[in-house]
Amino acid sequence: MTTHSAVPVADPYVLTPDGIKEPPSGWRASLRYLGPGLITSASIVGSGELIATTTLGAEAGFALLWLVVFSTLVKVAVQVELARWTITTGQPALTGYNKVPPKLGRLGWINVLWLVLALTKLLQLGGIIGGVAVACSILIPLDSDPLGFRSLAIWTTFLAIVSIVMLYKNRYRLIERVAVVLVVAFSFATVVIALGLPFTPHAYSAGDLAGGLTFLIPAGALGAALAMFGITGVGADEVTFYTYWCVEKGYARWVGPNDGSEAWLRRANGWIRVMYKDAVLSWVIYTFSTLAFYIMGAAVLNPQGLVPEGNDMITTLSTIYTGTLGEWASTMFLIGAIVVLGSTMWASIPSWARMYTNVLATMGVLDWQDPVARLRWIRVFTVALPIVWGLAYLVIQSPVIMVQIGGVMTGVFLLAIVVAVWHLRRTETDPRLRGGTAFTTVLVVSSVAIALLGVYTLLDVFGVTPSA
């Protein structure tokens, strides 16, 4: 939160006694303090759901429905554990990742791997801005061919400029409030349409849903399944930038510096419980949205043999709506696609700007604790990232492939995050705040599942595993 002069009034990354606030008790009192998870949901309900999940449903039918639920649920424990460390230390994820040995110069090996992830994400986020540009161009073509380069280039440029102008000040409250509106609007519409499919020619049955819970991966769907696991629910990037939004909401500052007192322990437990509620609410939102997109892809596109590809992705996906509600629904879908993909763009730009700035701080380029320098670099990346993403899309022009490449690397990086989470839990998290036996068990299961799928993804990339 900043003043009009752009200098932070109270830096949320600096823990001082005057920033202490008592935590609320119960859901009702906690509602006004939720928000980081909604920004995360805005990022999630977009690239993974509209593109990767629907594409997987089109390819595999209902057979991988189980993976949708598994993918969204299994990563939450790791997300919560990393956020627990952040709330009690005031430090964001990439600062923590850099503490995991060994190091390559000033950078820890996880942050080196993060740089590789960031390169693949240029493609994924390029696919997102491209998807929005395609939807805008079909809705309001600026040339005779809506999917022609000229119209797409104009829309991509326009979207990049609008994003920069709207997000340049990087005010947490504005980012949170717009994210909430975007998430609620399209998630509600999508779930309603998915629930309405049984009353259309594209009806699905209870048997279809049951058949999707058999824990099998059909032949030919492995690549899409791996990408979906990496990208749906909280992916590696969302797990990482969730920590920044927890700090900027105020959780860490309200806990205050760790003086070892019982009062600090009580506040820490209280704000961690608020974070739990925040994470649960966001999980409910993106899980239902993910299921809705997958079911629509499986029920509408799969029987017709339609799989979203290239710039025709939006046109293909629009058949979900036109086939359900009639041709008039095409406009509604395009507006919805703009909203859902735009939500990812809206949440991802400030999130990635913070992560890039943080990794530069670990390299010694700036002092992360200097709020003026930190905001200056965040603004640099707020301007640069939409431009780079837009150029990446205009060069490649295949949103589905671009998003799936980022999804595979996200699955690999999750493995590194698991290592970091357990290292920070052991070395820096107060033992009194680690959660009980039940949570530890869930964290172990979550970590093992992520590790196994991360290793399998690596082996598959190098052609070691048998084809499935």
The rounded distance, in Å, linking the Cα atoms of 36 and 249 is 7
pLDDT higher than 80, residue 183: no
- Of 128, 100, 111, which Cα lies nearest the Cα of 405? 128
Q: Give the pLDDT confidence of 356-392 residue by residue, as tens digits.
A: 999 999 999 999 999 999 999 999 999 999 999 999 8
> In this predicted structure, what is the pLDDT of residue 400?
60
pLDDT higher than 70, residue 96: yes
Query: Could you tell me the pLDDT band of residue 312, with boundaries at 50, 70 and 90?
Result: low
Q: Give the pLDDT confidence of 423-447 residue by residue, as tens digits.
A: 999 999 999 998 889 999 999 988 9
Distances (CA, A) of 82 to 137, 196, 275, 327: 40, 38, 11, 46
Instruction: Give burial (CB, 10 Å; 0-12/13-18/19+) of 160.
Output: buried
Q: What sections of 140-232 are H helices per DSSP?
A: 149-167, 172-196, 206-211, 222-231
Q: State the residue for tokens 């989470």.
A: 421
> In this predicted structure, what is the pLDDT of residue 342?
82
What torsion do the CA atoms of 94, 79, 252, 21 make, to the nearest 10 degrees?
170
Q: Give the pLDDT confidence of 204-239 residue by residue, as tens digits.
A: 877 888 777 777 776 666 666 666 666 666 778 889
Bridge partners (DSSP) of residue 103 are 108
The rounded distance, in Å, linking the Cα atoms of 454 and 439 is 22
Cis peptide before 102 (omega within 30 of 0): yes
The rounded distance, in Å, linking the Cα atoms of 179 and 227 is 24
Give the domains, in start order, of the chain with CATH numbers.
Answer: 21-461 (1.20.1740.10)
The rounded distance, in Å, linking the Cα atoms of 155 and 138 is 10
Residues whose CB falls within 8 Å of the CB of residue 450, separated by 6 or more in sequence, listed in order: 74, 75, 78, 414, 415, 417, 418
In a 3-state reduction of DSSP, which class is residue 4? coil
* DSSP secondary structure letter of residue 66: H
pLDDT higher than 70, residue 460: no
The rounded distance, in Å, linking the Cα atoms of 184 and 177 is 11
pLDDT higher than 70, residue 169: yes
Contact in structure between 378 and 357 (CB atoms under 8 Å): yes
Contact in structure between 404 and 52 (CB atoms under 8 Å): yes
Residues whose CB falls within 8 Å of the CB of residue 328, separated by 6 or more in sequence, listed in order: none
Average pLDDT, the chain: 83
CB-side exposure of 402: number of CA atoms within 13 Å? 27
Centre a 10 Å sphere on the Cβ of residue 11 and count the other Cβ atoms it contains: 22
Residues whose CB falls within 8 Å of the CB of residue 405, separated by 6 or more in sequence, listed in order: 120, 123, 124, 227
Bridge partners (DSSP) of residue 107 are 104
Distances (CA, A) of 34 to 28, 234, 278, 339: 11, 17, 5, 22
Q: Write the DSSP assignment of 258-313 as a string of letters.
A: ----HHHHHHHHHHHHHHHHHHHHHHHHHHHHHHHHHHHIIIIIHHHT----GGGH
The rounded distance, in Å, linking the Cα atoms of 358 and 350 is 12
> In this predicted structure, what is the pLDDT of residue 321?
60
Rg (CA), the chain: 22
Higher pLDDT, 324 or 218: 218
Bridge partners (DSSP) of residue 108 are 103
Q: What angle do CA 75, 80, 84 make, to 5 degrees?
A: 150
Bridge partners (DSSP) of residue 8 are 2
pTM above 0.75, yes or no: yes
* DSSP secondary structure letter of residue 103: E
Q: What sections of 307-398 are H helices per DSSP?
A: 313-325, 329-362, 371-396
Q: State the residue for tokens 């749906």.
A: 232
